[in-house]
Amino acid sequence: MDTTESVVAEINVALSTDYHLVRQLPGGLQSSAYELTDGGTRVVLKWSDDPGWAPRVRRAAELVRRARTAGYPTPQWLAVGTTAAGSPYQLQEFVAGAALRDASTIGPSLAGELIAICETQRELVPDHDSNWSVWAGGVVFDGWDGVWERVRGYGGETVELIERYAVLCKPYRGHVLPDDDLVHGDLNVGNVIVDNGRVAGIVDIEAAGGGSRAYDLVSLATSAARDGAPAGVDELFLQAALRAGGRAAVAVCAAAAYASLAEFVRERSKYSQDRALHGARRLLELLDA
């Protein structure tokens, strides 16, 4: 089985480099990132011990190239590969700054910058591989992954919220959602790197695919609500999502994202569960649902 040290060793052989591990970077609830250096250059390594993730990483590498060409501020990917054991990895440039974990620092100016960044995602993915709009509709209406029914079995306010989302989405069954934008897929405030009050980078983009950029704007709205952004910031993101994709896309993307998040936090702390509930509740409130 691969370890971070063994992955670094294989990278050095494959690329004729001399990187060594400096530290695990903070954050990363779903996957970890590591700072490497060769004594002069700092880079970031991300890798997975799931060989099945390799095609998604290769796909993301092409989407990163397209996004950067359009002005989307995600770090450049320097190398993509797999280890002998099949573990996919990528090296990317190191971006100075700090993750925006305290949403209380998001004012209208920074929110506007993030909204403008999401607008660069327009019509970047005309094909339909790994499409977030298709996934969202499948989860809400067709039982994909079984997550919707599992969440319905959790009880308490989680069930109340998922049923409210079901009512919200019911008029949009069969509705064709926008599907040709780039979608990050996990654009919470913790994946925004800020330096001197400006966005320096958007990270953790390996799950990128096609869909509606409204998905990412909805994610920002929910994250702003649950992570303590000043009053009104979540509404700025939601209004931008409605402009970008329309009410059907916003409703279905929000519902699918909540179901996925509710399952993700199920085995985590009560604090994480309460934050997820608050974000979902606030989004329904903003949608008058």
Q: What is the CATH classification number for the domain harbouring 61?
A: 3.30.200.20
Same domain, 114 and 227: yes
At 94, list the tokens.
């190191």
Same domain, 162 and 278: yes
Q: How far is CA 3 from the centre of its chain?
A: 25
- The pTM for the full model equals 0.94
Q: What is the CATH classification number for the domain harbouring 124?
A: 3.90.1200.10
Domain of residue 121 covers 98-288
For the chain, the average pLDDT equals 95
pLDDT at 133 over 60: yes
Rounded Cα distance, 234 and 220, in Å: 7
Q: Which alpha helices (H) appear in 46-131, and where do they start and end?
A: 54-69, 108-119
Tell me how far apart the 2 most distant CA atoms of the chain are, in Å: 58
Total domains present in the chain: 2
Looking at 93, 114, 129, which one is the last position of a domain? 93
Asked if residue 228 lies in contact with residue 103, where contact means CB atoms within 8 angstroms, the answer is yes
Same domain, 117 and 259: yes
pLDDT at 12 over 80: yes
Same domain, 80 and 139: no
Same domain, 34 and 145: no
Identity of the amino acid at 231: A
Same domain, 39 and 143: no
The partner residues of 182 in beta bridges, in order of sequence, read 210
Helix, strand, coil percent values for the chain (each to nearest 5) = 50, 15, 35
Same domain, 64 and 118: no
- 25-63 confidence digits (pLDDT tens): 986 555 789 999 999 999 999 999 999 999 999 999 999
Rounded Cα distance, 209 and 131, in Å: 5
Rounded Cα distance, 187 and 219, in Å: 6
Same domain, 81 and 137: no
Rounded Cα distance, 158 and 165, in Å: 11
At 267, list the tokens.
């085995």
Same domain, 78 and 60: yes
- 219-252 confidence digits (pLDDT tens): 999 999 999 999 999 999 999 999 999 999 999 9
Same domain, 224 and 148: yes
